[in-house]
Structure 1
Amino acid sequence: MLAQRAFHQSLRRAVAPGAAAKFAPASSALMQSRPVATNTMSEPEGRKILEKQRLNRPVAPHLAIYRPQITWLGSGLNRITGVALSGGLYLYVAAYVAAPLTGWHLESQSVAAAVAAWPVLAKLLVKSTIAFPFAYHSFNGLRHLMWDFGMGFKNKQVIQTGWAVVGLSVASAVGLACYGTF
C-alpha cells in the first residue's frame, strides 16, 4: 500500500511539474502514513520469530482430505508414466552406449534371446510393466489433444474419458504383454 501511494504521488508530481508545490502539501495532508520501525536482530532470533509465525499459518489442504477422483488420479498417473517412460529410455540408452565398454550384449538379437529363455510368468510381468505406462500415457495424450481442440470439458465427459483411458490402457497392456508370449 505504501508503495502504491508513493507511486500515485509521483505520478501527480510528474503530471504537473509546476504545480508540484501546490499538490505536495494537499496530498500529504490527505494521505495516511505510518512510521516504520526496524530492529536489528541476529539470525537465530529471526528464525525463532519465523517459526512462531509459521505455527499460526493455515495448513494447505492435503490429498488425504479429498475423496480420490479420476481427474486428479489420471493427472498424477500421466505424470508418473511419463517420468517412468522417459527415465527408462534414458537408462536403456545409457546402458546401450556403455555396453561396448562393459562387455554387455544389448543388441536386439541378444535381448530377444534372453527374454525368450524366461518363464512365461516373468515375460508377462515385465512386458505388462512396460506396456501399461506406454499405453496409458499414449491414450491420455490423445485425451489431452482432444481437450486442446476444446472438446470434452463437461464434468460427465471428463469422468467418462478418464475411465475409458484406464480401461483401454489395461486392455492394451494385457494385449501387448500377451502378444508373442504364448
Structure 2
Amino acid sequence: MLAQRFIQLSSRRLQANQPALSKFAAPAAIAARIQARHVAFQPSSSPVQTTPAKPSDAYSILAAQRRLRPVSPHLSIYRPQITWYLSISNRITGSLLSGGLYIFSLAYLASPLFGWHLESASLSEWFGSLNAFAKGGIKFMIAMPFTFHSFNGVRHLVWDVGKELSNRQVQVTGWGVLGISVVSAMVLALLV
C-alpha cells in the first residue's frame, strides 16, 4: 500500500513538473495498479477544485450509484418455455443416473462386509417375485431418465454441429425428444 502511494505521488509530481514526460507517468501509474480519477476540463480561468471523499462517505456514494443502476429482469417475469424444463431435466437425469450407478457400485462392493445379497441371482429372484404392474413401474422409472438423457444428449450434439438452432427448431426438437423418450421408455418397460 505504501509503495503504491509512493509511485502515485511521484508519477503525479513527474507529470506536473515535466509535461514532456507526462506520457510516461500514466503507464507507470497503470503498472502500479493505481486508479486515477480524471476531472472534466473546465474552460474558465479558475482551476477546478476537487475534494477527496472521506472513507465514511464512500459507502453512501456507492449505495446512491447502485440505486440508479438498472435492475436485470428476474426469471419470474418470463413465460416458462420447454427449453427451460428440458435443460434442468437433462441435468437432473444425468445426476440421478450417475449417482445411482455410484451408489449401487459402492453397495455392491460393500455387500460382503454387511451381509447384503446384491448378486445377480438374488436381484433377479426378488424382481421376479413382483407383480407385473410393479415390474413395469420399476423398469419405466429406470428407462425414462436413461432414454431422455440419451436422446437429449444427441440433440445437444446436433447443436454442437451448428444445426437446428433457430427458436422454432429448438422447440420442435425439444418436444420431439420428450415424446420419443416417453415412447421408448414405455416400450422398454413393457418388454418381458
| Counterpart among 68, 74, 81 of residue 61 in structure 1 | 74
Please tell me the residue identity of whatever aligns with 1:80.
Answer: I
Change (3 A) 1:170 1:22: closer
Give runs of ≥4 in structure 1 deviating > 6 Å. Answer: 21-24
Corresponding position of 1:173: 185
Shift of 1:68: 2.1
CA distance in structure 2 between the partners assigned to 1:22 and 1:136 by the alignment: 62
| Counterpart among 55, 79, 83 of residue 38 in structure 1 | 55
Corresponding position of 2:46: none
User: Percent identity between the aligned chains?
Assistant: 47
Q: What TM-score, normalized to structure 1? A: 0.71
What SS class does the counterpart of residue 116 from structure 2 fall into?
Answer: coil
| Counterpart among 53, 67, 73 of residue 85 in structure 2 | 73
Please tell me the residue identity of whatever aligns with 1:159.
Answer: Q
CA distance in structure 1 between the partners assigned to 2:38 and 2:168 by the alignment: 54
Is there any run of 5+ residues in structure 2 with no aligned partner, and where? 1-6, 26-36, 40-49
CA distance in structure 1 between the partners assigned to 2:171 and 2:21 by the alignment: 62
Q: Which has the higher contact order (CA 8 A, sep 6+)?
A: 1
CA distance in structure 2 between the partners assigned to 1:120 and 1:21 by the alignment: 87
Corresponding position of 2:135: 123
Shift of 1:21: 6.2
Change (3 A) 1:67 1:23: closer
Is there any run of 5+ residues in structure 1 with no aligned partner, and where? 1-5, 25-29, 41-45
Change (3 A) 1:34 1:141: farther
How many aligned positions are there? 152
Higher Rg of the two aligned structures: 2
CA distance in structure 1 between the partners assigned to 2:23 and 2:170 by the alignment: 62
Change (3 A) 1:157 1:34: farther
What SS class does the counterpart of residue 39 from structure 1 fall into?
Answer: helix
Which range moved further: 65-74 or 99-108? 65-74
Write the deviation string for residues 72-93 of structure 1: whole angstroms up to 9, x where unpaired. Answer: 1111111111111111111111
Please report the RMSD computed on the Cα atoms of aligned residues, expressed in angstroms: 3.5
CA distance in structure 2 between the partners assigned to 1:109 and 1:59 by the alignment: 58
